[in-house]
Amino acid sequence: MIVSTAIRKVTQLGNPILRAPTRPLTPDEIASPDVQRLVREMAVTMEEYEGVGIAGNQVGEGLSVFLMGLAAGGQRHPNGIDLTVVFNPEVKFLGAETEVDWEGCLSIPGLRGKVTRRSKLELAGLGLDGRPFKRIYEGFPARVVQHEWDHLNGKVYLDRVDMATLGWTEELAKWRQSSSED
């Protein structure tokens, strides 16, 4: 039997749920059929919209959960990112080193800008099975964690963007082709 999973509508900037902190979940809530279905729907929504991460409030749920994942071999990050589900994340920065790179957001389609993020961090939280875990992330995966963690705390990348770099994706692509700056 084939079980279909619904694609969720992505919550757009302006909806107050994106600016409100999310609610942590208990292991019993994580194990519930509703939350397990939510995670499946978030995964197919992220894939449908070609995202690298998605947070609970981006699909209209004020719950402290995010997913991230990216197939290996692409231009965004050649090594890819294993599909990861995190409930109630906690982030501990490891070192003061930062990196500046382009970011966009499924909730703010069409815009991109450069954001400074910490280079290395430890992510702790509960997995899909409701059990605690800790992982170290560096570079692009660390950026994705911080972007999604911001969502769960009521922030979006525009709160951190270098406004001088903000632009429409299509327009930036035209000008970046003729410039060595990046």
Domain that holds residue 159: 16-177
**Amino acid identity at 52:** V
Note the helical H segments in 24-120: 27-31, 33-48
Across 16-43, average pLDDT: 97
Residue 34 lies in a domain: yes
Residue 3 lies in a domain: no
**What letter would DSSP give residue 23?**
B
Residue 4 lies in a domain: no
Residue 6 lies in a domain: no
Instruction: Give the count of beta carbons closer than 10 Å to the beta carbon of residue 139.
Output: 14
Residue 9 lies in a domain: no
pLDDT tens per residue, range 94-137: 999 999 999 999 999 999 999 999 999 999 999 999 999 999 99
| pLDDT of 180 strictly over 50 | no
Per-residue pLDDT band for 75 (boundaries 50, 70, 90) equals confident
Q: SS3 of 57, please?
A: helix
Distances (CA, A) of 33 to 14, 89, 150: 30, 21, 26
| Positions marked catalytic | 148
pLDDT value for 144: 98
Count: domains in the chain:
1
Note the helical H segments in the chain: 27-31, 33-48, 139-152, 169-177
Residue 23 lies in a domain: yes
| pLDDT of 148 strictly over 60 | yes
Per-residue pLDDT band for 3 (boundaries 50, 70, 90) equals low
In the chain, what's the furthest Cα-to-Cα distance? Answer: 54
CATH number at residue 54: 3.90.45.10
